[in-house]
Chains A and B, each alone.
Chain A
Amino acid sequence: MKPYVEPPLRLEGITKFYRRGLFGKADAEPTLDDVDLTVHRGEVVGLIGESGSGKTTLAQVALALAPIDSGTATVLGSNLHSLPHRTLQRFRRRAQLLFQNASAHLNPGLNVVQILGESARLHRPNTPVKEAVDEALAWVGLNHRRDAFPFQLSGGECRRVGLAKVMMARPELLIADEPTSGLDAGLKAELIDLILEQHTQQSSLLIISHDLPLVKYACSRVVVMLAGRVVERFATATMGQQTHHPYTNSLLAAAGMGQPSPEQQTGATTSLRNGCPFVEQCPAKTGPCTSVRPLPVQLGPEHEVACHALGDDS
């Protein structure tokens, strides 16, 4: 297989409007607004966002599970949204998505062994099924639950089965959407370690989460999303040691990793096509914030911020 010089995941200018109703009328505000995101080979990148930031939609759009309105999604060298159906289906095996809803991966009518068995037949046809399944079960430590059905599994166990299933495909690109949400601390650490175990120099990993400490632990680069836009990018090593976007600051404060910011509301962010989505809660807001969309400004070698207060004063 020819090695890719192209980054395994390259999203450029992705914009998506959700459509509702019988005739698919588009929402006024885009769920994703001109998003750029790149993951290089061998990298672990973290995408931070809270509910409503569009991160799950981005994950699905990246693997062409949902349509986009503009932009390109280049995965492992191919523009996924323009591939014919059959090719796309075969392609999918090389890039996998670990869903936030753990039970999405599990067929409720089958038990663990059967679920992994089907996956093994599909993705590892050259290995005897029993061997592949046993290996996967041993890896996630669920041998004692092999005959259980999904409704009998706990949340953490569901996630591990889903992970085993997804990794059966040995994907070159793995997007993990909130892999540890709902788990308690010990299980979080275990699961993220399992995911990182499979990561090599040949594969790429995008971890989507709202959990900043988790992303700091696992990733080398962080991208912060708010209301469908990327508001900051930086290297994990410099987290907390530089001037961040005000939204990132609030995330740091919430995680106990930064300065507590003044009293802020838990209201919804206003998503305006013009202006900054954080304007209602931002302690640093200035004039243009309500009417002019902040453009990304380079603040350092790997640091980019879209904020009027930070970008305009240098």
Chain B
Amino acid sequence: MNFTKHINQAARWIAISILVLVMVSWVLSLAVSFDVVADVNPDQGGVGPSDKHWLGTDHMGRDVFWRMVTGSDAFVGPGLLACGVTLLFGVPTGAIAGYLGGIFSSIVRFLYGVLGSIPRFVLVLVVCTIYGNDPSVIALTAGIAYAPALGEAIYERVDRMRREDFVKAAKAHGLSQSDILFRQILWHNCRRLITRHCLFLFGFYLVLESTLSYIGDFGVEEPNPSWGNMLAFEFGETAGNALAWLGPAFAIWCTVLAVAITTDHLSEQRRA
């Protein structure tokens, strides 16, 4: 029993470290103006790790490490934006629907059902073909596509507390409606839930963006780096530096795993 506990503990620490690393690399990519796009040295292509290039170069001679760092910009920024969008669309609608009940909640949940029935990835693809590859647009779409899931979760919790006379008792005690809904219910009871969902969306966005870039005509286009397109670009190259594609692949895998572990850790075990 103890053994499992220690493994879980270790996993959590590693997961959080990975996420921190990702955020650091994002900040770095915004701050550092390292030219990873144009610094093309074909004659130095496919070289392994060295002092100058920590992870070697890709087949066009560009530094893999710094391309990876810059590549994090492709999903972290928009990922956070997607989270913001989903919070904006999901939380108020779910909370008010749960609080008021009646026709309003029926309508809201119907809309959730309609929107939620469209596969998220397909929706993003469609939007991309119409509006092009602007990451903000992709983020917005992903955020809206995820909002029903978050909204439904919030609705369920708020509705349950309303039915359990919690809201009535709080009113009887002299609390205002806004205090009840926003502080009592959302803040004290839904924080973990919201964090879990946002984390999930963040991980989802990474996979989404990587897939789009990997496919090619969507997402981030060459020569700008993204973990997805680095993977696509280097995967076929048999000769040369394997790290050029292993690096981004491993990075994607680790980050998604870290998100999963952290989300799981945040699940509410307190509730009996």
Contact = CB atoms under 8 A, between A and B. Distances in A.
B151 to A, nearest CB: 20
Interface stretch (A89-97, A128-136, A226-234, A277-285): A89-97
Interface string A75-92: 000000000000001101
Interface in A12-68: 22, 60, 63, 65
Given A92-B172, A96-B172, A119-B173, A107 B106 contact: no
B10 interface: no
Interface in B66-105: 102-103
Given A22-B106, A92-B174, A119-B173, A107 B272 contact: no
Given A22-B103, A104-B169, A90 B184 contact: no
B171 interface: yes
Interface residues of A, number: 28
A104 B160 CA distance: 11
A65 B173 contact: no
Contacts of B171: 65, 89, 92
B173 A169 contact: yes
B200 to A, nearest CB: 21
B174 A99 contact: no
Contacts of B270: 149, 151
B6 interface: no
B129 interface: no
A200 interface: no
A249 interface: no
B165 interface: yes
B51 interface: no
A55 to B, nearest CB: 15
A109 B176 contact: no
B165 A101 contact: yes
B141 to A, nearest CB: 33
Contacts of B272: 151-152
A110 B185 CA distance: 11
Contacts of B102: 22
A151 B103 CA distance: 32
Q: Which 3 A-B pairs have the closest CB atoms?
A: A104-B165, A109-B188, A151-B272
Interface of A: 22, 60, 63, 65, 89-90, 92-93, 96-97, 99, 101, 103-105, 107-110, 119, 122-123, 149, 151-152, 165-166, 169
